[in-house]
Amino acid sequence: MEDIVKAMDPDHVDAILAQWARERPDLDASPIGLIGRLHRLADVLNVELRRVFAEEGLGDGDFDVLVTLRRHGAPYELTPGELGASTMVTSSAVTKRIDRLEQGGLVTRTVSASDGRSRRIRLTETGLVLVNRLMARHVANEQRLVSGLTAQERTQLADLLRRWGQTLEG
């Protein structure tokens, strides 16, 4: 393992691992190498991803609602409950997002034809144009963020992260 680290450029996490190896050689601190790096990457990725949405006056939660409606296909409409299940946030968070997007003219909220107690959230034409434009920029941004990895490395990393997530989600 040390040979691999020496062959690569050491990072902040390597310094932490070296300190723990010196201070507590009885502990296998190697998980810090994974989890510490994931935390650091998540922080960087959040900043880099949010920049695209912020340029359009949106938060990442707003973008999440818009792309969820878009990826479900025409007529780009779901119930608040379906949005909550797909975006994995509480119903109150979904309501706040819908309120903001409706005020911005990006979605409409209508009474369901089949159940007067239920509401349907639909992308407006303005919302559809915006989400199509933003998705193209978002994907280009993500391509930029993973450009340091080969296609094979991206596939391997995605597979490993999927497997790890599945074991943690049980």
Q: Are residues 42 and 93 in the same domain?
A: no
Element (H, E) at 119: strand 119-123
Q: Are residues 7 and 32 in the same domain?
A: yes
Beta strands in the chain (DSSP E): 77-78, 107-111, 119-123
Number of domains in the chain: 2
Q: Domain of 68: which CATH number?
A: 1.10.10.10
Q: Are residues 42 and 68 in the same domain?
A: no
Q: Are residues 83 and 123 in the same domain?
A: yes
pLDDT at 9 over 90: no
Q: Which two tokens stand for residue 40?
A: 């650091």
Residue 1: band (very low, low, confident or very high) from pLDDT cuts 50, 70, 90: very low
Q: Are residues 113 and 47 in the same domain?
A: no
Q: Are residues 91 and 124 in the same domain?
A: yes
Cα 52 to Cα 137: distance, rounded to the nearest angstrom: 7
Q: Are residues 153 and 97 in the same domain?
A: yes
Mean pLDDT taken over the chain: 91
Say how far residue 48 (Cα) sits from the centre of its chain.
11
Cα 148 to Cα 156: distance, rounded to the nearest angstrom: 14
Boundary of a domain, candidates 33, 54, 75: 54
Contact between residue 82 and residue 92 where contact means Cβ atoms under 8 Å apart: no
In this prediction the pTM is 0.82
Q: Are residues 48 and 70 in the same domain?
A: no
Q: Are residues 40 and 63 in the same domain?
A: no
Domain that holds residue 30: 1-54
Per-residue pLDDT, averaged over 22-46, amounts to 95
Percentage of the chain lying above the pLDDT 70 cut: 94
Contact between residue 20 and residue 27 where contact means Cβ atoms under 8 Å apart: yes
Q: Are residues 77 and 102 in the same domain?
A: yes
Instruction: Convert the pLDDT of each residue in 140-153 to its tens digit.
Output: 999 999 999 999 99
Cα 127 to Cα 70: distance, rounded to the nearest angstrom: 9
SS3 at position 28: coil
Boundary of a domain, candidates 38, 54, 70: 54
Instruction: Convert the pLDDT of each residue in 86-139 to its tens digit.
Output: 887 788 889 999 999 999 999 999 876 776 677 899 999 999 999 999 999 999
Q: Are residues 112 and 151 in the same domain?
A: yes
Count Cβ atoms below 10 Å from residue 94 Cβ, excluding itself: 25
Q: Are residues 136 and 89 in the same domain?
A: yes
